[in-house]
């Protein structure tokens, strides 16, 4: 079953006590997902996510990614290759 972008947006805004930086990073990730024609999984680069989200600190970026994973929003597999990008899998539900 395919989940819509609107469902992900609604889900992030329903999360309790989530910081604006986490929302911004997740929205940037959703934009990249849209640009890649909703493929799941898809690839992101830290540089692109930081630019789209307005995050300036690499430490903040990693904290955001970690929290989004911990909240069950996505899976993140780092590539450690600057051009290839890391793999992201958006989850349909918290139990996934």
pLDDT at position 94: 43
Confidence band, pLDDT 50/70/90 cuts, at residue 96: very low
CATH number assigned to the domain covering 5-90: 1.10.10
- Tens of pLDDT along 32-80? 999 999 999 999 999 999 999 999 999 999 999 999 999 999 999 999 8
Read off the pTM: 0.88
Distances (CA, A) of 36 to 45, 55, 63: 13, 21, 24
Mean pLDDT in residue range 80-86: 86
| pLDDT above 90 for 26 | yes
pLDDT at position 93: 57
Q: Where are the domains of the chain?
A: 5-90
Reply yes or no: is the peptide bond before residue 41 cis, omega within 30 of 0. yes
């Amino acid at each position: 079953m395919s989940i819509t972008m609107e469902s992900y947006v609604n889900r992030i805004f329903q999360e309790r006590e989530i910081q604006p930086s986490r929302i911004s990073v997740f929205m940037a990730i959703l934009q990249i997902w849209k640009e890649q024609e909703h493929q799941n999984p898809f690839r992101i680069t830290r540089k692109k996510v930081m630019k789209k989200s307005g995050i300036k600190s690499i430490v903040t970026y990693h904290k955001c990614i970690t929290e989004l994973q911990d909240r069950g929003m996505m899976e993140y597999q780092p590539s450690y290759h600057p051009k290839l990008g890391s793999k992201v899998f958006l989850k349909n539900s918290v139990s996934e």
